[in-house]
Structure 1
Amino acid sequence: MRWVFRWIVRGSGETRPLDVYDVAFLAGGPRHVVDSAVTALHQRELLVVQSAQVHAVEGRQPLHPVERAMVVFCRRPTGIELVRAVLERSPEVEEIGRGLATWGLVAGGERQMTPAGRRHLQEARLDPRMLEYVFPHRTPRWEGAAPRPAGQSRRRSGGNRRHGGPGPGLDSDTHSGGE
């Protein structure tokens, strides 16, 4: 029965907006979804990354399922490679792949991008509101991050956007439901 649903959805012409983690999956697969979540949480100071260790910060809970899974998994300092290995196979990341397959954007066991997926990814690349770290063209900002000196606050700039500056009506929490 599932294949019938997929065919109906694909043939219906319906679309749904892709969130940051859908685009990350299209751009680089499950591992890139995890790296994007680390980057997002690190930028929002909900996760600390030091010396290849990741540790969640007590406080607000993110709304996106992938981010919640990350925070729960990283309650204690955890090596980034273990975080990647476990979370890229987590139900939350798998659900992103299943959703993209249902919409005809990826196919097969390896979740290879379809022509429709490539079109959506290209549209996302051109969207000035899309967060820069979603595209795996460079090392994530948190890799090799040195701890901040005590008493020094983190500067906040809108420079995390692909085309510089925040896009209209979107902030860095857009992908997590606008905490």
Structure 2
Amino acid sequence: MAREHHQTGAGSGGEALDPYEYAYLAGGERRVVESAIISLVERGTLSLRAARLRTIGAELPQHPVERAVIAACPRSKRVQEVFEALEHCDEVDELARRLVLLGLVRNWRRRTTRAGRRRLAAAAAEGSLPPYVLEGPARLDPGPVRYGLLVDTGPDGLGRTLRRMGKALDNESDHHAADGGFSCGGGGGGAD
């Protein structure tokens, strides 16, 4: 499903904003990167499985933020590592500077201004933006993309190791309780 990034005026006049600028107004730097990942996955340029991103398409995106996402994961990389790599990248900082110049974001705290909130509300009312731009990946249907963006899996293999350790401890606890060994709770109290 190919999706074009279009400019939209969204109501209040002024310069047209692209979807990533609206994403910044709605959720800051992280929302910009989330939106770029989702768009690239939808277009078949990235694959997101088990909270890992991998470039699979030959497309060289036109938008600088999308190019930065592609550059951040030349091989299979955890989503969290991509977020960390792009946290203060030049492409997202440039997008934020443009929003500051337009008076839609405060310079020193990078918070959306009243004018920015009005532009965002107008875009939401217009309905021209994908829902994930405004509301994030929680708005996606359940599946690997939503899971990969919403769940921080920690370092590779750590989750599997911790689950295995937990199962081993559960099995050991069950074994000892069956032998009359260690158990938790359930002791008889004294009679009154």
Please give the TM-score of this superposition, normalised by the length of structure 1.
Answer: 0.70
Gaps of 5+ in 1: 1-12, 146-179
- Counterparts of 1:21 and 1:80 in 2: how far apart (Å)? 18
Contact 1:35 1:140 (8 Å CA) reproduced:
no
- Counterparts of 2:50 and 2:121 in 1: how far apart (Å)? 34
- Counterparts of 1:50 and 1:140 in 2: how far apart (Å)? 18
* Matches for 1:10-159 after TM superposition, within 5 Å: 15-136=14-135, 139=138, 141=140, 142-144=145-147
More relative contact order, 1 or 2 (CA 8 Å, 6+ apart): 1
- Counterparts of 2:55 and 2:136 in 1: how far apart (Å)? 26
Contact 2:35 2:136 (8 Å CA) reproduced:
no
Taking only aligned residues, the RMSD between alpha carbons, in angstroms, comes to 1.8
Aligned residue for 2:138, secondary structure, equals coil
Contact 2:19 2:133 (8 Å CA) reproduced:
yes
Contact 1:48 1:55 (8 Å CA) reproduced:
yes
Q: Which has the higher helix share?
A: 2
Contact 2:55 2:70 (8 Å CA) reproduced:
yes
Contact 2:21 2:95 (8 Å CA) reproduced:
yes
Contact 1:52 1:143 (8 Å CA) reproduced:
no
Pair 64,138 (structure 1): closer, same or farther in 2 beyond 3 Å = closer
Instruction: Please list every run of at least 4 consecutive aligned residues from structure 1 whose deviation after the TM superposition is greater than 2 angstroms.
Output: none
